[in-house]
Structure 1
Amino acid sequence: MIIVAIGANLPASGYETPLSTCEAAVVRLAEDADIQVTGRSRWYESEPVPKSDQPWFVNGAVSVETDLLPEVLLARLHVIEESFGRVRRVRNEARPLDLDLIDYDGQVRIGAVDPTLPHPRAGERAFVLLPIRDLDPDWRHPVTGEAVSTLIAGLPDGGGEIRALED
């Protein structure tokens, strides 16, 4: 399974809320002839990590199927981000859209290879793990082999508040 995390804490131009931006990003992904969206998690609202005075984020994830290589898929994700007004300036800044390639069929690519797979912080963030659990409750971290439920249970306190926006 290929997992793409979706997040925003600012509305993109032409959208009223970060949630409507995220929903539009799912539609944009599905419009790409080389990408099939096969599943979508619930949407969650979460505090910024690390904590800051930024607006809360809307987060979710989709599973996709594609024959694109991971680096080509990531480049497409960046083009979609830019089309929603994302400009990469400072790490952890507020943004109208963030698309992260979390897992690409369990591939492990660490070191000088870009993108790093799985995403280096995939097992450390509730706003990534809860949507992954929605997509596949049996998902296991490709490096550690830990189940998503184990990773969620092991999250430290203070990792930021998170709540589902829908059931």
Structure 2
Amino acid sequence: MILIAFGANLPSHVGAPRDTVIAARQYLLEHGFVREVAFSSLWFSAPVPASDQPWYCNAVMAVESDYEPLELLSKLHECERAFGRERIEGDRNAARTLDLDVIAYHDVVSNDPHLELPHPRMAERGFVLKPLVEIAKDWMHPQLQLSAEALLARLPQLDQDDLHLFDKAAA
């Protein structure tokens, strides 16, 4: 299973962050970059680390793809640019119109500096784990050997408090 995390907290040319996440999903599908297996509800989350940035709209999509991991990452960056994403060197936590991350690529474990797999901070992020549990609770982290559900259960409640169901994405 390939997992992609979506996040947005600034408006794009299609509208509010919620609209951007939904449009980015369609972009990936219409351009043939991925084939959807499942798409989570939309979640509203506080910025991490805590800041005065606007809150994020988040989701996770399980997909199939013919692209290798780095090629897929390149396609995700293309999608980000299409929605006005500007990468700020040295500030990985900057506000953004769209952020797409490859969270996992089957059972691949990689320390490639361009794409660590699975995502090195996914097990600490409620805004990834809650939507992931919704669509693939039995997914197993290839290094930790814990399911998505078990990863979420061990996350401190404090890290889950600033995370709220936004609404169900339009299918």
Where on the TM-score scale, by shorter chain, does this alignment land: which range? over 0.9
- The amino acid that maps onto 1:37 is E
Which runs of structure 1 show a deviation greater than 6 angstroms over 4 or more consecutive aligned residues?
A: none
1: CA distance, partners of 2:27 / 2:83: 10
- Cα distance in 2 for partners of 1:134, 1:84 equals 26
Distance 1:157 1:130 in 2: 12
Per the alignment, residue 93 of structure 2 pairs with 92
Name the structure 1 match of 2:38.
Answer: 39
Using the alignment, how far apart are the partners of 1:131 and 1:152 within structure 2? 10
Tell me how far apart the structure 1 counterparts of residues 115 and 60 of structure 2 sit (CA, whole Å).
Answer: 18
> How many correspondences in the alignment?
165
Structure 2 partner of 1:51? 50
Aligned equivalents of 2:63 and 2:50: distance in 1? 30
Amino acid at match of 1:36: R
Q: Secondary structure at the match of 2:116?
A: coil
Matched, 1:118 2:87: no
CA–CA distance in structure 2, aligned partners of residues 139 and 147 of structure 1 = 5
1:66 Cα offset (Å):
1.0
SS at match of 2:123: coil
SS in 2 for 1:116: strand
- The CA distance in 2 between the partners of 1:82 and 1:71, in whole Å, is 17
Amino acid corresponding to residue 28 of structure 1 in structure 2: Y
Report the structure, 1 or 2, having the larger helix content. Answer: 2
How far the C-alpha of 1:114 sits from its partner, in A, is 3.2
Task: Measure how far apart 1:8 and its partner are.
Answer: 0.2
The reply to whether residue 127 of structure 1 matches residue 127 of structure 2 is: yes
Does the alignment pair 1:165 with 2:166? yes
Q: What is the root-mean-square deviation of aligned Cα atoms in Å?
A: 1.3
- 1:5-40 per-position Cα deviation (integer Å, ceiling 9, x unaligned): 001001112x22100000000000101224212210
What SS does the aligned partner of 1:63 have? strand
Cα distance in structure 2, aligned partners of 1:155 and 1:119 = 16
Q: Kindly indicate whether residue 110 of structure 2 is the aligned counterpart of residue 109 of structure 1.
A: yes
Q: What is the CA-CA distance between 1:158 and the residue it aligns to? A: 3.6
Q: What's the CA shift for 1:166?
A: 2.2
Gaps spanning 5+ residues in structure 1: where?
Answer: none
Aligned partners of 2:3 and 2:63 also within 8 Å? yes
For structure 2, which runs of at least 5 residues remain unmatched after alignment?
A: none
Shift, 1:97, TM fit: 0.2
% same residue: 41
TM-score by length of 1: 0.93
